[in-house]
């Protein structure tokens, strides 16, 4: 059988903590209780004695609720002391940052005329208007890009049935590790060993624009002979295709004399160069980005191990 009455038992310190909370972080709830108790028939003096407030304060909050409702009970904004730097400092910072530069807190402070502010205050005012981020690089793009793309579409649409269309590009594979931001345990910063002397290899890659199949070849240098060898790989991969169109950028190996002589001897493959400064048009660029994310923050002992990482990436690519 449950007891008829249950009363809270607390020490004087616990009582003080509760009253302090009612006057501090929970004061909005205390004001609501004043209104509720008043509606229940308690007088302002009784409420003030219960919640340790002055009766005038209780009557003031009850009156505010009567005129403004519950929205009038929270604290109203207070003016406080004037902000350091003045009201227009934020506008000046925003206007300054519209011009791309390597802006740091100290540079902004100097450009603003060295206002009488500490660096911590200056940093806080900057955070109100800006965020720390890296600018995005964009390609210059070819002024004739649209007409070049239209010409490529016409050539592709005119290919005989069963032809294969591939996008091709090259990138570099370095023994020196690529470092990218990532999550790390608090208090720990991973260390990636550098090789001392970098070793570089070239990766040729082509993706089938219909099936998504990826072809790649890793060589010591990006020269015309290697490019022709990669084209031969593509020919061998599609022996039954009447024609193979390879869309690539304007690299010198794509239209060198060696490449032109090789293409003349192999009419089943056509190399189509796209617009200049337009890497966004080539889907292989996104595959390179995924590969470099895959091998980022890893140190290998030899370039052979780095090449094996690339081969593993292509084997598991979906």
Question: What is the C-alpha to C-alpha distance for residues 96 and 112, in angstroms, rounded to an integer?
Answer: 8
In this structure, the strands spanning 200-208 and 214-219 are antiparallel
Residue 230 CB coordination number (10 Å): 21
Contacts of residues 95-102 at CB distance under 8 Å and 24 or more positions apart, as own/partner, are: 97/129, 97/130, 100/135
Question: What is the C-alpha to C-alpha distance for residues 114 and 89, in angstroms, rounded to an integer?
Answer: 12
Question: What is the C-alpha to C-alpha distance for residues 313 and 218, in angstroms, rounded to an integer?
Answer: 13
pLDDT of residue 282: 95
Residue 238 CB coordination number (10 Å): 19
pLDDT tens sequence for the chain (318 residues): 555 566 778 888 888 888 888 888 888 889 999 999 999 999 998 998 888 889 999 999 999 999 999 888 888 877 767 777 777 899 999 999 999 888 999 999 999 999 989 999 999 999 999 988 888 777 677 789 899 999 999 999 999 999 999 999 999 999 999 998 888 898 888 999 999 899 999 999 999 999 999 999 999 999 999 999 999 999 999 999 999 999 999 999 999 999 999 999 999 999 999 998 888 899 999 999 999 999 999 999 999 999 999 999 999 886
> How many CA within 13 A on the CB side of residue 105?
14
In 3D, which of 60, 32, 55 has the Cα closest to residue 44?
55
Regarding pTM above 0.95, the answer is no
Question: Cβ contacts of residue 98 below 8 Å, gap of 6+?
Answer: none
Where are the domains positioned within the chain? 12-72, 89-127, 145-180+193-316
Following DSSP, what letter does each residue of 100-144 receive, concatenated?
-S---HHHHHHHTT--S--HHHHHHHHHTT----PPPP-----TT
Question: What is the C-alpha to C-alpha distance for residues 33 and 47, in angstroms, rounded to an integer?
Answer: 9
Question: What is the C-alpha to C-alpha distance for residues 147 and 254, in angstroms, rounded to an integer?
Answer: 20
In this structure, the strands spanning 200-208 and 164-174 are antiparallel
φ and ψ at residue 152, rounded to 5 degrees: -65, -40
Architecture of domain 145-180+193-316: 2-Layer Sandwich (3.30)
Cα-based distances in Å from 73 to 40, 42, 69, 79, 99: 19, 19, 8, 18, 45
Cα-based distances in Å from 44 to 21, 49, 56, 60: 21, 9, 8, 10
CB 273 within 8 A of CB 168: no
pLDDT of residue 2: 58
Count the helix, strand and coil residues of the chain and give each as a percent rounded to the nearest 5: 45, 10, 45
Eight-state DSSP code of residue 280: G
């Amino acid at each position: 059988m449950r007891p008829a009455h249950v009363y809270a038992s607390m020490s004087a310190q616990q009582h003080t903590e509760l009253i302090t909370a009612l006057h501090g972080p929970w004061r909005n709830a205390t004001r609501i209780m004043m209104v509720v108790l008043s509606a229940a028939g308690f007088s302002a003096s009784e409420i003030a004695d219960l919640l340790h407030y002055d009766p005038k304060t209780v009557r003031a909050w009850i009156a505010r609720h009567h005129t403004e409702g519950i929205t009038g009970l929270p604290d109203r904004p207070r003016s406080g002391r004037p902000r350091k730097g003045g009201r227009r400092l934020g506008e000046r910072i925003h206007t300054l940052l519209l011009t791309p530069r390597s802006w740091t807190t100290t540079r902004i402070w100097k450009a603003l005329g060295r206002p009488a502010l500490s660096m911590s205050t200056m940093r806080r005012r900057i955070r109100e208007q800006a965020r720390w981020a890296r600018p995005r690089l964009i390609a210059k793009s070819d002024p004739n890009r649209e007409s070049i793309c239209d010409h490529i579409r016409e050539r592709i649409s005119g290919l005989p049935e069963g032809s294969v269309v591939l996008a091709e590009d090259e990138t570099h594979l370095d023994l020196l590790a690529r470092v990218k931001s990532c999550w790390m345990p608090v208090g720990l910063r991973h260390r990636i060993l550098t090789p001392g002397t970098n070793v570089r290899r070239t990766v040729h890659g082509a993706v089938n624009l219909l099936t998504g199949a990826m072809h790649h070849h890793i060589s010591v240098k990006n020269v015309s002979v290697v490019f022709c060898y990669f084209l031969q790989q593509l020919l061998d991969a599609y022996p039954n295709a009447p024609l193979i169109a390879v869309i690539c950028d304007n690299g010198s190996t794509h239209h060198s004399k060696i490449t032109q002589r090789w293409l003349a001897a192999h009419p089943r493959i056509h190399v189509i160069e796209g617009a200049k400064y337009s890497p966004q048009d080539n889907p292989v660029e996104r595959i390179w980005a995924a590969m470099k994310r895959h091998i980022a923050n890893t140190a290998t002992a030899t370039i052979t191990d780095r090449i094996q990482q690339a081969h593993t990436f292509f084997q598991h690519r979906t």
